[in-house]
Amino acid sequence: MQLKNLKTKFLGHNCIYYKTIDSTQSKVWKMLEQNAPNGSLVIADIQTAGKGTHGRIWHTDEKNNIAFSFFIKLECDIKKLDGITLETAKIIVNIFKEKYNINLCIKEPNDLVINNKKVGGILTETKVLSGKVQYLVVGIGINTSKKYFTEDIKDLATSIKKEFNIDVNTKKFIAEFCNKFEKEILERIGDEN
């Protein structure tokens, strides 16, 4: 699968799409162990065991929602990644504002919220060796089109479609995110890659 409008040096160039997968995050960790190209990205329509923070499950059980993970090979001091989860959230908020005139709020450090209901989340993981970050793995889930919420989360979660009746182009969104995120990372670490 290719993402159009991609202006990155490496992020998203190797892009793999699954109709159904257990977890994009788990798949990306396996890929980096198999020496997949730097910036490899996995997108899924459905996740059967999507990962949230603190071991929670992220529900991606309907199509046309945003669910993707990627990794970046690094060799940098962990301090250079301070606040990266919050910065990731800000990038997402900016894209929704610029492209769809939607104002999302950030519930720090990793939740995206509309009207006090969660619409998205970010999972940031690293592999550190001798005090240096070797890999940054980021997973993003956003309820763009989700219509049905189970009883236990219906008062806590919502979607862009439900709140604003707007259709989000998933592939365009992910390409735009990659463009902005890679720029942020390269500025933080210096253009070492």
User: What is the pTM for the complete model shown?
Assistant: 0.91
For the chain of 193 residues, list the mean pLDDT of each consecutive stretch of 10.
92 95 93 95 84 59 83 94 96 97 94 93 94 95 86 84 93 97 93 47
SS3 15: strand
Calculate Rg over the CA atoms of the chain: 16
Domains in the chain, CATH or no CATH each: 15-188 (3.30.930.10)
